[in-house]
Structure formats: structure tokens, C-alpha cells
Amino acid sequence: MSTMAARAVFLFVLAGISVALRQTRQISASTKVARVLTPADGAEYVAALSVTNRNCPLRCAAEIVQPSSTEELAAWLTSNNGAKPFIVKGGGHSYGCQSVPADGGVLIHTARLNNAEVFKRKDGTSFLRTGPGLTFDQLIPRLNMMNYSMPHGECLTVGMGGWTLNLGNHPELGNFNNKWGYDGKAYLSKVTFVDYRGTVFYVDKDGMHLVKLSPNDSWISYQVRRKRTEALAGIMNVAGKLGGSDIVAAGNVMRIFKFYGANIAIATELEIELLPKPEPGFFQVTYAVSEILDKNGGKERLQAIWDAVWSAGADEDIDCGMVYFSDYFKGTKEGAIALKCVDWASPSGDTVRRIAPAGYRAFQAKASGFLIWAKDSYGKGWVPSWHGEDPEQFVEAGGVEKYRDFVIALESAANPCDSVGSELMYNGRLVMVDNFAVASQANQDACAAFSAKLKDILLGDRPIIYKQNLPMCRANSDWKSELIEYSNGLNIVANRLKKLWDEKRLVDFWLGIGHDNSQACEALSVQPAGQTCLQHGITSDQMVEAEHNYAKRKCPKYDSYVDSESQNNNCVKHIYKVATPLPVTVM
């Protein structure tokens, strides 16, 4: 190397170190401290600890850290300096119990990262800047009244952070990745993160950008992580395209964080491009389950409904799924099977009417999300049962008839569960099945065993896929080929990424990178309460009460409804009715 080149390298490194030292002083001078709850904080602590799936084990954290800003989270992680492992909880839906802390451990709860604001650019486009601690019911109705749309999950109480950084999707809306919506363009434009050292950075279409360096970090170490992450992101992009698991993202680095972000850093702020129009028409076409299960013609009726779902998968004007609810109809509490469809072409549902089989009880416009997934589901638990499979495989196996047998069993007196919701969906690429058979702790084991057995019968030995935030609970020795985040060689990329960002393995959860993911999830059976909970007198009943209170804050009349139709529809209407516009800044 020439003397001039060596001097240039020296000055470059010196400049980086100077910036790093200046940023270190800025962090050290910060006086902002995240709120920390302990078991002594009573009901407030219990509400922060509780997760929606009450089949999850009862374990109490010694500390629940609740930052209200990026700076507060960075300060806590800096002071922790890798000493204490932790688990992160956002909205707390915790489908697979991944937000349950270790007994006596630390839980980082992002609920106070809850700012949200719309920004209007001079070119007429707009974007949402939001904290990850908000749930969709706190955003989608408010944007809707402002004539904006954005991607979201089907369950309205799922959190922004967990959904966005775990390949979240809506089975019918498909994240608006069509001509009606983003037309193949990325909607997530920027995410601010804090890594486990306390270093703050953001990711956008151009990659990673340093904001503040932690005293526990070095500029050179950060640059090494950045460069190696970019290289892994490039490998992952190629592997994803070859394996058919490619997703739309604002660059390769954003894609790798959408896959694995929850394993390596904590998001504190997201920016999402908004569609300048309200959501398209969403409709439910409801049939009595008795007519579907009738020996005389029931099989043909269900096949006709499925044929409508199948035809919608190839039609640009419509996307549909099928849903089953027990305890559905007002008055009789009879179960129901329904088409649920987004009509991209007609706000009045003309396309849905064209494909819906005759004989339905009701045809109604509805919101694209739901509050409950089965009658009285808050305060109760379920066994995670989502999977996707090849559509031709499903048809060849007689999948529709098997699903009818599945619903017959759910409607039978042998079902020990309190109530059930189940979905059969098709998006043109995958057939997807989910099942929420909910129960209180008193009948959790019986319900879990019953629903798991039915799912095994429905599925047989057919190969499937699933993902971190929508898993199958059962033990699976083939997880490296069936879990989306690790299939097609991505397990190698994931492990290298984890070693790069979390060498101490501070964050470890079921289906996370480096975990023994061949094991079944923790929701299959009742487990003993953790010692920290026992020492402080914290019980499962308190968790149930916390979830009831949570539901009633969303919908004050939640407890008054005796059927799932009224409970879901009226509560969702209430959420939309009381919504207020988000603040707006014109740039």
C-alpha cells in the first residue's frame, strides 16, 4: 500500500472513531430511563405480563422494562451490557407463546412505544410513522376514516412490531400486493432498531445506517456487522427466489430484517407507505353449519363454497377464504360456515355475489379484521394450528371432505372445548388452515388433546409449511424444511446472522434462531406456575381477568354478547365508531 493510501485509510478510521466517541458521549449523557415494573406493582404488572393465548405457561419476570422512546430502550440495553437475557413482548397476542419470559427473567414490553402520525409529502404521497407497540385496532380504523389503507393482520389485536418483523400477512388482502394496492412495490420503507448492545440504527432501501453507537460497541464492530449482514442478505435473496420464499421488501437488508428482525434487534419505529384510499369492500356470506353437515347434500354444499374460494384464487377481482364459527347465530347459537371475501372490483360486493353459492343466511359488508377468533376467546387459550400446503396436494388428498369431517367433529358432543373458530383459505399459491379451539385452564388439557388429534387426522402425513408467528404446535423433526424462515438452506443464513448480532444468545424463544425447534410448543398442556409467580401470589386467574379487562377496554359490552356473531360484529363496529383521526404533518 502506498503512503498516501495508508494515510487515507488512517484518516477514515480516525474519523469513524471520532464520530463513535461523540455519539457515545451523547448516549452517556442521556437522563431518560425506561419504566421498570416488578411483581410488587400489582395489576399494572399483571396486565403488562399477560399474553392473549392463555394456554401459555404462567411465568413471571423479575423486571418488565417499558421504554417509551428509542433513547430509553438504548439506555437500558447499554446498561444491561449483555448481562441479563430477555424476551420481547409487543401487542401480546403471542400465538405460539414466544412472548412469555423466563421465570425470574426480564421482559421488554414495547407497548409504550405507541406514537403514530401521518406525514404528507409535497408530491401528494403519505406515510405513517408508528411505534411497534400499537395494535391494529389502534391504527386501521383511524386511517380508514382518513381515507387511507395499509397492510395489517386479520386479527385486530395483533401488534405492529411482531407482525411486521415476522412475515405478517392477511389471507385475503395479501398486504395489498396487487394492482389495487402497491402493485409489487414495498410498503415498509424504514425501521429504526436498537441492537442488544444499545446501538441505534435504521434500515431503509439503501441498507443500514448508524444513528448512535453504544459505549458497549465500536465503530469498526458495527461496520463489520453491517457489511456481513449485507452479504447474508444477498445470499438470502438468491436462496429465497430459488426456493419460492421471496417476499417484497425495500432492499435485501430490509428483507432479512423482516424475516429475522425479532431475533437480533428491537424495533422502535416503523415508517409505512400509505395507500390514498379506504380499504376495498370486504364481505361475509354466511351459511348454517347444519346445512353443510347434512347427510343429504351437505358435502356438495361445502364443495360449492370451496369452489368459490378456489375460483377467487385465480381472479384478480376477488380473494376469498372460508371460516367456521361455533355458537354463531343470534338466538339459536347455531354454528356457521361463511365465505369471507375482499371485492377489489366492486365496493358493493357484486363480484362476491356472482360466485357465492345459493342458500346463504346472510350477505353483509364487514370490516377486514376481527376482534375475537372464537366466542369469549379473551382469557382463554388454544393450541397453535396454522399450516400451509401445496393446493394440488390438498385436492388430491380429498382435503375438502376431510375438512368437512373436521367440522363435524368440532360440532359434536365429544368436543370438550368451549368454542371454536377455524379457517380454510387459498391465496392462489397455498392452501392454509388455522384452528382456534379455545378453553379455560380447567379443560385446557382435554381441549388441547382433542384439537391436536383432529388436526393430525385432517393433515395426515402430508408435508406442510409454517412460520414463527403462525406455527403448528406439534413436535416436528422436519422443521428445517417446513419452517419458512429456515427452509431452502436459510437455516445457515439465520445462524450466521444470530452469531453476528447476538453471540451471547440473550434472546431465545420457540422457533427462534438457534432454539431446538423440533420440540412442541408450550401450549399443548397445563404447566406448573413459575416460582417467581408463586412467591408473589400471581395466579392464572389474574391473567384471565387481565385479558377480560383488555377486551372490555376495546369493547365495553364485550361480556354482554351470548353469540359469536354479535360479539365480533358489534365490537368491531364499536372500535370503528369511536376511532379518531391520527395527527397529520404536512412536509
Tens digit of each residue's pLDDT (9 = 90 or more) over 179-232: 999 999 999 999 999 999 999 999 999 999 999 999 999 999 999 999 999 999
On whether both 35 and 25 belong to a single domain, the answer is: no
* pLDDT at res. 31: 53
pLDDT tens per residue across span 345-390 = 999 999 999 999 999 999 999 999 999 999 999 999 999 999 999 9
3-state secondary structure of 471: coil
> Does the pLDDT of residue 503 top 50, yes or no?
yes
> Using CA atoms, how far apart are residues 114 and 551, in angstroms rounded to an integer?
19
> Using CA atoms, how far apart are residues 404 and 424, in angstroms rounded to an integer?
11
> Using CA atoms, how far apart are residues 14 and 4, in angstroms rounded to an integer?
15
* Residue 260, domain member (yes or no): yes
* Residue 492, domain member (yes or no): no
On whether both 362 and 394 belong to a single domain, the answer is: yes
* Residue 518, domain member (yes or no): no
On whether both 211 and 329 belong to a single domain, the answer is: no
Question: 424: domain CATH number?
Answer: 3.40.462.20
Q: Which residue has the cell 413482548?
A: 89
Task: Of 57, 106, 47, give the one whose Cα is nearest residue 548.
Answer: 47
Mean pLDDT of the chain: 93
> Does the pLDDT of residue 160 top 70, yes or no?
yes
On whether both 259 and 345 belong to a single domain, the answer is: no
DSSP string, 274-326: PBSSPPPEEEEEEEEHHHHH-TTTHHHHHHHHHHHHHHHHT-TTEEEEEEEES
pLDDT tens per residue across span 532-587 = 999 999 999 999 999 999 999 999 999 999 999 999 999 999 999 999 999 999 99
* pLDDT at res. 10: 42
DSSP string, 345-398: S-TT-HHHHHHSPS--SEEEE--SSBS-SSTT-TT-B---B-EEE-HHHHHHTT
> Does the pLDDT of residue 479 top 70, yes or no?
yes
Mean pLDDT for 509-532 is 94
Please give the share of the chain, as a percent, with pLDDT higher than 90. 89
Q: Point out the domain boundary residue: 278, 300, 319.
A: 278
Contact (CB, 8 A) for 110 and 48: no
Q: Which residues of 398-431 are buried (b: 16+ CB within 10 A; e: fewer)?
A: ebbeebbebbebbbeeebbbbbbbbbbbbbeebb
Q: What is the grid cell recorded at 174?
A: 395479501
What are the C-alpha distances in Å from 128 to residues 102, 123, 221, 277? 34, 15, 32, 14
What's the domain count of the chain?
Answer: 4
* pLDDT at res. 139: 98
* Residue 519, domain member (yes or no): no
* pLDDT at res. 246: 62
pLDDT tens per residue across span 259-312 = 999 999 999 999 999 999 999 999 999 999 999 989 999 999 999 999 999 999
3-state secondary structure of 555: coil
> Does the pLDDT of residue 25 top 90, yes or no?
no
3-state secondary structure of 466: strand
> Does the pLDDT of residue 509 top 80, yes or no?
yes
Tell me how far apart the terminal alpha carbons of the chain are, to the nearest angstrom.
48
pLDDT tens per residue across span 376-432 = 999 999 999 999 999 999 999 999 999 999 999 999 999 999 999 999 999 999 999
The band of 4, judged by pLDDT with boundaries at 50, 70 and 90, is very low
> Does the pLDDT of residue 20 top 50, yes or no?
no
The band of 17, judged by pLDDT with boundaries at 50, 70 and 90, is very low
Provide the edge-to-edge strand list for the sheet that holds 431-438. 362-365, 281-288, 336-343, 318-325, 419-426, 431-438, 387-389
Mean pLDDT for 507-516 is 96
On whether both 126 and 251 belong to a single domain, the answer is: yes
Q: Could you tell me which residues are beta bridge partners of residue 207?
A: 204
On whether both 339 and 204 belong to a single domain, the answer is: no
> Does the pLDDT of residue 146 top 80, yes or no?
yes
* pLDDT at res. 224: 97
> Does the pLDDT of residue 11 top 70, yes or no?
no
> Does the pLDDT of residue 51 top 80, yes or no?
yes
pLDDT tens per residue across span 55-107 = 999 999 999 999 999 999 999 999 999 999 999 999 988 899 999 999 999 99
pLDDT tens per residue across span 104-125 = 999 999 999 999 999 999 999 9
> Does the pLDDT of residue 510 top 70, yes or no?
yes
pLDDT tens per residue across span 325-338 = 999 999 999 999 99
* Residue 513, domain member (yes or no): no
* pLDDT at res. 239: 74
Q: Point out the domain boundary residue: 459, 477, 505.
A: 459
Contact (CB, 8 A) for 283 and 349: yes
* pLDDT at res. 241: 66
* pLDDT at res. 27: 43
3-state secondary structure of 107: strand
On whether both 295 and 416 belong to a single domain, the answer is: yes
* Residue 272, domain member (yes or no): yes
* pLDDT at res. 32: 80
For the CA atoms of the chain, what is the radius of gyration? 24
Domain holding 48, by residue range, is 31-110+543-554
* pLDDT at res. 282: 97
3-state secondary structure of 493: helix
On whether both 285 and 411 belong to a single domain, the answer is: yes
* pLDDT at res. 238: 83
Q: Point out the domain boundary residue: 247, 278, 309.
A: 278
* Residue 524, domain member (yes or no): no
Q: What is the grid cell recorded at 251?
A: 432492499
On whether both 432 and 313 belong to a single domain, the answer is: yes
On whether both 441 and 547 belong to a single domain, the answer is: no
Q: What is the pTM of this model?
A: 0.93
On whether both 214 and 245 belong to a single domain, the answer is: yes
Question: 143: domain CATH number?
Answer: 3.30.465.10
* pLDDT at res. 245: 57
* pLDDT at res. 243: 57
CA 54 and chain centroid, separation: 17
On whether both 120 and 74 belong to a single domain, the answer is: no
Please give the share of the chain, as a percent, with pLDDT higher than 70. 94
* Residue 487, domain member (yes or no): no
